[in-house]
Structure 1
Amino acid sequence: MSGTLASIIPLILMFVIFYFLLIRPQQKKQKQVQQMQADLQKGDKVITIGGLHGDVHAINEGSIVLIVEDGTKLTFDRSSVREVVNKD
Structure 2
Amino acid sequence: MLISDAYAQAADGAGAGFLGGGFESFVPLLLIVVVFYFLLIRPQQKRMKEHKAMLASIKRKDRIVTGGGVVGTVIKVENEAELLVEVAENVRVRVMRDMVATVLTHGDGAAAGGDKGKPAAEATAETKKADEAASGSASKLKGLLDKK
1:12-51 equivalences under 5 Å are: 12-51=30-69
1:85 maps to 104
Q: Structure 2: 5+ residue runs without aligned partners?
A: 1-16, 109-148
Count of aligned residue pairs for this structure pair: 88
Letter in 2 for 1:46: I
Q: Which runs of 4+ in 1 moved over 4 A?
A: none
Identity %: 38
What is the rounded CA distance, in whole Å, between the counterparts of 2:29 and 2:84 in structure 1? 49
Deviation at 1:29, TM superposition (A): 0.5
TM-score (norm 1): 0.94
Greater RCO (Cα-Cα under 8 Å, separation 6 or more):
1
Pairwise CA distance, 1:81: 0.4
Which deviates the most, 67-76 or 15-24? Answer: 67-76
Higher Rg of the two aligned structures: 2
Q: Which has the higher strand share?
A: 1
SS of equivalent residue, structure 2 residue 39:
helix
1:62 aligns with 2:81: yes
* 1:22-78: CA deviation from partner (whole Å, max 9, x where unpaired): 111111101111110000010000000000000000112210000112320100111
Q: Secondary structure of the equivalent of 1:46? A: strand
For the pair 1:6 / 2:44, whether they are aligned, the reply is no
